[in-house]
Structure 1
Amino acid sequence: MKKIWKRVPLGPLQTNCYLYAKENGECLIFDPGEEAQKLIGIIRDKGWKPAAILLTHAHFDHIGAVDAVRETFDIPVYLHKKEADWLSNPALNGSQYFQMGPIQAKEADELITEEGMMEIGGFTFEILHTPGHSPGSISFYDRDERIVFSGDALFRGSIGRTDLPGGSHEQLLSSIKTKLMKLPSDTLCLSGHGPETILEDEMNHNPFLQ
């Protein structure tokens, strides 16, 4: 069954939330960072039926709308176990370092503990642990569609920042090169900020990977 994706930039940092839907209307919500009512309105206008919220990581600009969206649709939130405490802690999720006030959410319903294949809400992904931007950063790879939701690990022409708690430049480069760049070169990469890209283009042109 063919899937479609929609990018919805949200909040002051224009963090990309992605809606990933099947033709039958089932959908997943990646990184609902802010503007909950805008996001809820889009989902309802499309007639989509959310099954879960998937977090690539728990930085504040990716979690601001988590609780409102979770409660509206009564769906679970998935997050890597290494950031289990981040949703409720502004020091860990980074919101206390920016002039936006503390951002908090209730704990995740499901913690992802290992890499490998996982079925979530009728969708099947390969979970890749891609730390460096943050300790629990994960990427969700849909093998059938050749799409990877990379969070803030890899951007078009750039990579994620590593100056927030738990960040590591060397670890991030290792994650990109040993995990993301091992995927098929024509894989579409949907990043946490900015436009989509193709992994082959990043292999050949991203200055951080040369």
Structure 2
Amino acid sequence: MGNMLVEALSTLTRTKCWVRKDILLLEFTVSNACIISGLGKQKDQWVLVDTGLENSGDFIRHVVEDELGLGKKPEAIILTHGHFDHVGSVFELATHWDVPVYIHPLELPYVTGKKDYPLADTEVDDGWIAKLSKSFPHTSIDLGDRVHPLPEDGTIPHLPEWRFILVPGHTEGQIALFRERDGVLIASDAFTTVKQESLMSVLSQHETVSGPPKYFTTNWEEAKKSIQKIIDLNPQLAIVSHGQPIEGEELRNRLQELMNHFDEVAKPHHKKTVE
């Protein structure tokens, strides 16, 4: 039931927005994806970062046709981690376009059929989404030889201006993508700008900067360290997977506030990790 609700919510509002001239944000109510364009010598290459839920593929293809042109396919798909709301359409899209997929080596077992994520913890919060989260998919998918590990040096194939930052806690191999020249951060689930455990917050997209989604987060000490790692980058714009982008002084102030009060506002009170 919980997964059906999330998929239904993802069809309520599907929007696209250029947050920078070369970054297109794809919003599915419950989770976001990104297109990074303007790559290559001819500036006509692009990559997709995350793929939304299982029912997001058609929308993504239509957006590509509208914004980038018919017949355009990405150089690659980059996955920030392997949770169901980030990899839902990856097999469909990677097969349709016949392109490689990249993910951090620590996440490879979850997308090659070798390891499942823990079941969601419904006791972390009283919100409806948290209470339904145990029915969310947590078993691994198998992308076979289509998926490859990201390089150990932090570079990202086909994205020469970007590097990945390991921001564990929510999962052990979650990454954020960072472009130093303008301070753009694709933060994945390292933090959110909605209360992701609450149905009303997700529907309204009411801004409230918080930590990673509680029901799937496995290591809160690492999650807190990841917030500090992001603060140290001094990002100018953060694109999160849950909620609206946030930038400038507001971003820096809200991140520091989250760091200062992480244990009270982000971490569940009853236990530190999902078991």
What TM-score, normalized by structure 1, do the two folds share? 0.83
SS at match of 2:110: coil
1:111-126 to structure 2, matched below 5 A, reads 111-112=149-150, 114-116=152-154, 118-126=155-163
Structure number having the greater strand percentage: 1
For residue 94 of structure 2, the aligned residue among 56, 70, 85 is 70
* Structure 1 unaligned residues grouped into runs of 5+: none
Structure 1 residue 104 corresponds to structure 2 residue 141 = yes
Deviates more, 1:72-81 or 1:87-96: 87-96
Shift of 1:137: 0.5
Measured in 2, the distance between the counterparts of 1:37 and 1:196 equals 24
Structure 1 residue 85 corresponds to structure 2 residue 148 = no
Structure 1 residue 184 corresponds to structure 2 residue 234 = yes
Of all paired residues, the percent bearing the same amino acid is 22
Alpha-carbon contact 2:107-2:173 (below 8 Å) kept = yes
Measured in 1, the distance between the counterparts of 2:138 and 2:86 equals 15
Cα distance per residue 1:57-100 (max 9 Å; x no partner)? 11111001001111121111110111111123683286993256
Measured in 1, the distance between the counterparts of 2:249 and 2:164 equals 20
Measured in 1, the distance between the counterparts of 2:178 and 2:234 equals 11
Task: Please name the residue that 2:226 is paired with.
Answer: 175
Measured in 1, the distance between the counterparts of 2:34 and 2:166 equals 19
* Structure 2 unaligned residues grouped into runs of 5+: 1-19, 121-132, 194-208, 261-275
Amino acid at match of 2:227: I
Structure 1 residue 129 corresponds to structure 2 residue 158 = no
Change (3 A) 1:49 1:146: farther
